[in-house]
Amino acid sequence: MSAATALLFLLLAAPPARAGIAESSLEHGGLRRTYSVYSPQGKKAPLPAVFVLHGGKGGGAQIRKHTERRFEALADERGFLVVYPDGVNQHWNDGRGQPGSKDVDDTGFLAALSDSLVKSGAADPARLYAVGISNGGFMAHALACRDAGRWAAVSAVVASLGEALAPECRPSRPVSVLMVNGTEDRLIPWDGRDVRFLWRKLGRKLTVPETVARWTALDGCSGEPERSELPDPVDDGTRWSLEARRSCRGGAEVLLYKVAGGGHTWPHGTPYLKRVVGRTSRDVDFERLVVDFFLRHALEASR
């Protein structure tokens, strides 16, 4: 038996990988960047990869806890990696020019991390996705603007396009975008341009309607959007509706989930600072909704 044949035999005979979370790091931009990856058990690589981007003052471990590991349960069921990267000083450089993060190359870091997962054979380069909340949601928008050839689709929760980034947003291809925004969000107001936390101003943004209009134009969507009301199974003071644009170039779609009465919160997320962030909606299984959205989009050809 040749050495190559013996190696192939050992690989084929190896047991399926065990599910679990692995912490690691890489060097990028002169900084040691940290992240964790959840790999489902017994799924054949390369797999789709869902990057979950924490909000400001958070981290990968925090968003993992906040979402109660629901992405990981879905990963076991559907077969994808869950990637929890950490921002520098608990923030992402999302294009708003925030102090402490404006000189950090987070777009490059997330590209390098995805390249590392692809090179190792773990991730499928045609099926890389990013979902984030607040600062992480702004970062998801920024990835779609800055590196559209890498990310097959993105989702932003309680976030919109940064005002400074919007004029420079010229994606190389139509990118599918799913947004979730609450009408009672006081930090990222539906119709306001200032991002605020208590008395602090944290940059400027487009309004939610302006952000949807910008992605509609960038993705070359045509016709009137489809509008529908979602079921309201929980009496929590919120109600979901969908404004969907699906007649877009390259099979892209732009989806806006409007949460009437919703605050600055992740759907079903662990409640915190209720008087500041507002209501948390429990009407929709959001992780399943966004994973279904992601997995119906893929790049036409690997990079």
User: With 80 as the cut, is the pLDDT of residue 149 above it?
Assistant: yes
pLDDT band at 301 (very low <50, low <70, confident <90, very high): low
For residues 71 and 197, the model is more confident at 71
What pLDDT, on a 0 to 100 scale, did the predictor assign at position 216? 98
What pLDDT, on a 0 to 100 scale, did the predictor assign at position 62? 97
Q: What is the mean pLDDT of residues 241-250?
A: 98
CATH of 16-295, picked from 3.30.70.1350, 3.90.1280.10, 3.40.50.1110, 3.40.50.1820, is 3.40.50.1820
Q: What's the token pair of residue 196?
A: 């605020």
In percent, the amount of the chain with pLDDT more than 90 equals 84
Task: Quote the CA–CA distance of 38 and 40 in Å, as a whole number.
Answer: 7
User: With 90 as the cut, is the pLDDT of residue 103 above it?
Assistant: no
User: With 80 as the cut, is the pLDDT of residue 11 above it?
Assistant: no
User: With 60 as the cut, is the pLDDT of residue 82 above it?
Assistant: yes
Model confidence pLDDT, tens digit, residues 16-65: 445 689 999 999 999 999 999 999 999 999 999 999 999 999 999 999 99
Which range of 99-103, 112-116, 299-303 scores highest in mean pLDDT? It is: 112-116
Model confidence pLDDT, tens digit, residues 171-185: 999 999 999 999 999
Model confidence pLDDT, tens digit, residues 190-218: 999 999 877 778 889 999 999 999 999 99
User: With 70 as the cut, is the pLDDT of residue 300 above it?
Assistant: yes
Ramachandran quadrant class, 96 (left: phi over 0; alpha: psi -120 to 50; beta: rest): alpha
Q: What is the mean pLDDT of residues 251-277?
A: 94
pLDDT band at 99 (very low <50, low <70, confident <90, very high): low
The predicted model scores a pTM of: 0.92
Close Cβ partners of 30 (under 8 Å, ≥ 6 residues apart): none
User: With 50 as the cut, is the pLDDT of residue 12 above it?
Assistant: no
Angle of helix 106-119 relative to helix 135-146, nearest 10 degrees, comes to 70
Q: What's the token pair of residue 189?
A: 């107001």
Task: Quote the CA–CA distance of 152 and 267 in Å, as a whole number.
Answer: 23
Q: Which of 3-12, 116-125, 135-144, 287-296 has the lowest mean pLDDT?
A: 3-12
Exposure pattern of 7-18 as b/e (b: 16+ CB <10 Å)? eeeeeeeeeeee
User: With 70 as the cut, is the pLDDT of residue 9 above it?
Assistant: no
What pLDDT, on a 0 to 100 scale, did the predictor assign at position 267? 97
pLDDT band at 10 (very low <50, low <70, confident <90, very high): very low
